[in-house]
Structure 1
């Protein structure tokens, strides 16, 4: 069981890498392929939308087939997407490759959560969920400065081919090492409709929509063009800044997990953390033209505070009946991931439509969008029913 979970965690490191690496790739892709920031925002959106679209069938497959085949086979598809990316000559191929990679990464985290929910005590679900997310976020770190070094040393096409090989090897490891939890006795099968009829879930789903989208969007893409256009940063400098934000996200995940066990008021832990994150997003909007040290510090704080995703998911999972575990966690993940793809496409259009005078103006508009949308979701979440396992 443990070695299989380790393989899933390694796969999740790759998943986190793939959702964030475009921020560092921006300068070289723009230079060599002529793609714009809006093109890359759209490509990032395709990753998240493909990831989200797979959540509904994955939920059923986890309940009926199990995490081993579901994750291993789809991750192999993601390896194929990385190969396509390495051969890209324009924006369309990058978008298609990102969609394939997103679909391949889609089951990884939920497969781990499915095993935690079915094989471990409910009292440790939030901690294990945060631990897996925290370790996996090291992939976010790897997509920062280490990726900049690798691209500079070997080239971006060769780097992507190497990643395709690694992804394929991890897919094989999952097929060989993951052990499915014991099947539940035959009985109720249930459906997503049963979950959607639960009023207690809806305010939590609203929070899922906004709890991860801002920091995923900023770290996954907008850090790169923002520091390049506003502060003249090169690829290595963007990699260093991305590294700091990625490390803050790792630290945030590790902090939220123990706090979930210490405090019995899960709802208010989420509210406090995300209220502070909203303040950071408004600060980014207000200080968009400030020196890079200021905006970097704000982004680092936002990365730490915006890491409540596993705790919000644990809050929702606590209302899900056992026979719907797979569909429950993937429904929550759908609401957490799909909005990121939509937000990337929206912010790409906001950026393109905002006059670049001064240079920080289009990015200030992006920051304001994230701040306002997160505040709205947090207001709805105030109506949720608190529950701790």
Structure 2
């Protein structure tokens, strides 16, 4: 039996690859615009095709994870991602590249949730928030690789050979899952298909999900949409950065995103030992996330480095609700609950990426060929309003959440 650290490291590696694919377009966007002839709307649609495929695959993958386990599901899905990366490497038109991004998105749809399933099966309940942070934070290092290292490689060989190489690496990762990750025994007797679907219906019928999910969806979705596409153009058009400075800004964001997940998990782990629940920690961190968006929306470039650093570091704090949901629903249904929530994140990320491009195209280009700064303000402000509404909705239901958790989990730590 492999050690828990080795297993979590393997799932962190899988998510690492997923993050590279998800975020690389923020850097190579100018290359795609010039080589393929894309406008802002098509760039947003092409890039977000990965996210919508990712989101559409979440619920089926959640059912599969609860039935077959993370080892077999993840190994199989990575073959689909490798096919998409190969197609992206040779595609010459927007349609082909969009299909390729969708295949990549579907293939990596289980990268994070399979890791969370592995945490649920191998890490004690009170430490699962930290285990999730290890998987996600390790994977977030992919944001770093998709900045300056990728910029250097694009300059040396171009973006197509990079995607060809990533296809090979993805197939290698698929083989590693079969070699390293164990098969966990089922927490109960094998479930029939109708029982699996009934469990899924129970998840979405539970008011707990609808009280937590909107806040997680809109905050994490906006964070992903920005870090994987529109942060780069924002640095160029609003902050006035050249391409080298944009790559540096994205590197700083990536470092914050990776470190922020670890720190959020560590804070939650320490807080639980002191009787402070996961949802209280999540709420506090997301309040910080909302506050730092104000200078970004207003375009205060003096505060740009600090604001974006905190934005990147706190934007995924919603994952602290995942071990809470796993405890609420139990191991046998945990993946369906977590992927059900995760679906909305990628739907929101897709919507924001695409809508931002559509709004930008409503304005005339700047003389330098960039996008109008006010377009970013309009797009970001609309999402900010949704975030505030979701936070108010979540806070108004905290007593209900605590009561439900105590009823289902008894004396387990983490109610609120």
The TM-score, its normalising length taken from structure 2, stands at: 0.88
In the alignment, the residues of structure 2 paired with residue 154 and residue 98 of structure 1 have an alpha-carbon distance, to the nearest angstrom, of 21
The residue aligned with 2:385 is 372
Query: Residues 38 and 352 of structure 1 are in contact (CA less than 8 Å); yes or no, is this contact kept in structure 2?
Result: yes
In the alignment, the residues of structure 1 paired with residue 372 and residue 340 of structure 2 have an alpha-carbon distance, to the nearest angstrom, of 39
The residue aligned with 1:306 is 315
Query: Residues 281 and 370 of structure 1 are in contact (CA less than 8 Å); yes or no, is this contact kept in structure 2?
Result: no
The residue aligned with 1:226 is 234
Using the TM superposition, give the Cα deviation of residue 305 of structure 1 relative to its aligned residue in structure 2, in angstroms.
Answer: 2.2
Aligned pair partner of 1:8 in 1, 8, 11 = 11
After superposition, where does 1:1-389 map in structure 2 within 5 Å?
Answer: 1-2=2-3, 3-186=6-189, 189=195, 190-231=198-239, 233-263=241-271, 264-287=276-299, 290-291=300-301, 294-354=303-363, 359-382=372-395, 383-384=397-398, 385-386=401-402, 388-389=413-414
Query: Residues 88 and 97 of structure 2 are in contact (CA less than 8 Å); yes or no, is this contact kept in structure 1?
Result: yes
The runs of 5 or more residues in structure 1 that have no matched partner are none
Partner SS for 2:361: helix
Most deviating of 130-139 and 366-375: 366-375
The runs of 5 or more residues in structure 2 that have no matched partner are 406-412
The TM-score, its normalising length taken from structure 1, stands at: 0.93
Using the TM superposition, give the Cα deviation of residue 82 of structure 1 relative to its aligned residue in structure 2, in angstroms.
Answer: 0.7
In the alignment, the residues of structure 2 paired with residue 274 and residue 249 of structure 1 have an alpha-carbon distance, to the nearest angstrom, of 14
Using the TM superposition, give the Cα deviation of residue 187 of structure 1 relative to its aligned residue in structure 2, in angstroms.
Answer: 7.0
In the alignment, the residues of structure 1 paired with residue 332 and residue 235 of structure 2 have an alpha-carbon distance, to the nearest angstrom, of 47
Aligned-residue RMSD, C-alpha = 1.9
In the alignment, the residues of structure 1 paired with residue 114 and residue 160 of structure 2 have an alpha-carbon distance, to the nearest angstrom, of 30
Output one character per residue of 1:23-59: Cα deviation in whole Å (capped at 9) or x when no partner: 1011111122211232221122211110111111111
Query: Residues 207 and 312 of structure 1 are in contact (CA less than 8 Å); yes or no, is this contact kept in structure 2?
Result: no
Query: Residues 49 and 101 of structure 2 are in contact (CA less than 8 Å); yes or no, is this contact kept in structure 1?
Result: yes
Partner SS for 1:179: coil
Most deviating of 355-364 and 62-71: 355-364
Output one character per residue of 1:167-195: Cα deviation in whole Å (capped at 9) or x when no partner: 11111111222112111332764421111
